[in-house]
Structure 1
């Protein structure tokens, strides 16, 4: 099957599986897993941060970051469309009593500075205490503008706020911009880096930041059930992905560009956006029913997400030949509609 639902569907390569099989393991809750310890030191150094913590998922990594930055009754500022606000189960509010303050951004992950500053609450018992600014990179596939990040995080610091980056696809941002992980992480106090998705590890995210913060985060990881035992095989997969798969992410971007160009040439489809490894489309006929198309694509061995909000995501398990096959399937379908 050609699977364009998400880059979360990537599978470990044969070499990654070998590295996983051979990785030394121990009890990570006791701090005894050498592969986890090595990954944490490796990524702390690579991002220019003092310390790091291995967690099972990006959602838990972001949650632990929010719980470590904020206390009950505090709030964090976040884009209305950001993953931490919309797609992580409301964990900060449910489990931490932390109030999100969602803001209307620019559909690029950027928050207007005036709007951001106006959202920061004065010190007053009537208000939640504004403690944290969170951004996301990439944001719906788009790389955050470096100048805007600098201005936004500078404003946060001036107002006494901490800063956290959801870097679920920061590898794609690095590949697209040519920036290093350290440069992309530098403006933020803490960063969550996902090693699955396009990087292809089976699981795992790493939270990086100051030593005292990571010590607090380690406790919160335990509280929310994220303490792991013999997990060195997964940590080894993450390190392998960072070393070997990150430089290859640019190939996924090229596949997305090819897919966007092919779909844009088909009558009935409008490509609304393409950034890094994501392609967004709209169907021009307002009466168009997506269910038959979904079924048609499945018959052709192509899996896509919900076609009411169509997003196609390329990754290392999709080839250029697969992209051409997908474009041909869409073309055949829409040609049939006009006969």
Structure 2
């Protein structure tokens, strides 16, 4: 038995999703003529109470388009030091937007208005202009933990007061909403831009959406073209996204339940020194020896995982991991006790 816990990006389309893809009505999306892409963009924009949306190949692209749309060269953005936009997007902030980054040390990636306020630069030619704050929900490096609306609201208020844009890297936003029970429409009232990934917990093979106002999305289409993200008959991929939104949101709770079972097991393993508390579908735990010692042992038993640091391992549950596979993983974890 193989259990792939490296990421929720490894999922394969289900038979129902494949049927939706094969029957999609398509056109040339660069001309705005792909009916299925247009439907997806309208559908998800309405879900979050945003004016418009643009379909892109990846979450990295939607984040980079957002940063480019909300900043000018010589500006600065504020984010947590674990932020995906900073750590895992190839230096795109500097390369694509000529923008510097002010990093904060939040609690497991969660930053607050009180932390952000003092880091906003005064208007002075010696300083870059602070024009954007980026939040991540759920926080990947934080073990899938979530922002509460009570934490987001003060940040949004601060940004509005200081004329700063607020963007959400919502790669796993539906995992967060499943945990907090919040409505997606609330996010549209707080954020200027939202990135939503369809190819993680929702199980689509490809695709991410950038949501914003109509003017920002009109500019985003120009940036997407420059970045090489203008796809043609993309409706085959967009159909998978529509299917995911209609069928795979409620089932995220099962992934969270599976993650809790793994957390409980790891807490009782003597080769594990600590487990970050689990809220969604990411489990991050520290080990007695280096991760490189345990990963081959897990692989020998069919468990694929990834190192998150020298002595830290990450598991991610998803729709291609079933209860039998979770039980097999639990048995393997227990067998590594020394």
CA–CA separation in structure 2 for the residues paired with 1:299 and 1:32: 49
Q: SS at the partner of 1:172?
A: helix
CA–CA separation in structure 1 for the residues paired with 2:94 and 2:293: 39
When residues 299 and 229 of structure 1 are mapped into structure 2, their CA distance, relative to the original with a 3 A threshold, is same
Q: 1:50 offset after TM fit, Å?
A: 0.7
Q: State the 4+ residue runs in structure 1 displaced beyond 3 angstroms.
A: 289-292
Q: How many residues align?
A: 331
2:36 alignment counterpart: 35
- Deviating more after overlay: 19-28 vs 114-123: 114-123
| Pairing of 1:134-213 with structure 2 (within 5 A) | 134-140=134-140, 141-213=144-216
CA–CA separation in structure 2 for the residues paired with 1:312 and 1:254: 13
2:129 alignment counterpart: 129
CA–CA separation in structure 2 for the residues paired with 1:138 and 1:33: 31
CA RMSD across the alignment: 1.3
1:43-66 Cα shifts (integer Å, max 9, x gaps)? 111110111111110000000000
- Residue pair 2:265, 2:333 contacting (<8 A) in 1 also: no
When residues 185 and 136 of structure 1 are mapped into structure 2, their CA distance, relative to the original with a 3 A threshold, is farther
| Structure 2 unmatched runs, 5+ | none
1:75-128 Cα shifts (integer Å, max 9, x gaps)? 1111111111111111021122111111121224223x3331111111121111
1:284-337 Cα shifts (integer Å, max 9, x gaps)? x3xx24434322221211111126321111111111221111111121122xxx
- Deviating more after overlay: 99-108 vs 314-323: 99-108
CA–CA separation in structure 2 for the residues paired with 1:49 and 1:291: 44
Q: 1:271 offset after TM fit, Å?
A: 2.1
Q: SS at the partner of 1:275?
A: coil
Q: Structure 1 or 2: larger helix share?
A: 1
CA–CA separation in structure 1 for the residues paired with 2:173 and 2:323: 23
CA–CA separation in structure 2 for the residues paired with 1:197 and 1:262: 24
Q: SS at the partner of 1:77?
A: strand
| Pairing of 1:109-120 with structure 2 (within 5 A) | 109-111=110-112, 113-120=113-120
| Pairing of 1:254-269 with structure 2 (within 5 A) | 254-269=257-272
Q: SS at the partner of 1:197?
A: coil
TM-score by length of 1: 0.94
CA–CA separation in structure 2 for the residues paired with 1:224 and 1:116: 30
| Structure 1 unmatched runs, 5+ | none
1:237-294 Cα shifts (integer Å, max 9, x gaps)? 01110110011101100000011111212222232332200111112x3xx2443432
CA–CA separation in structure 2 for the residues paired with 1:186 and 1:200: 27
- Residue pair 1:108, 1:144 contacting (<8 A) in 2 also: no
CA–CA separation in structure 1 for the residues paired with 2:213 and 2:149: 22
- Deviating more after overlay: 154-163 vs 184-193: 184-193
CA–CA separation in structure 1 for the residues paired with 2:266 and 2:178: 24
TM-score by length of 2: 0.95
1:298 alignment counterpart: 299
Q: 1:184 offset after TM fit, Å?
A: 3.1
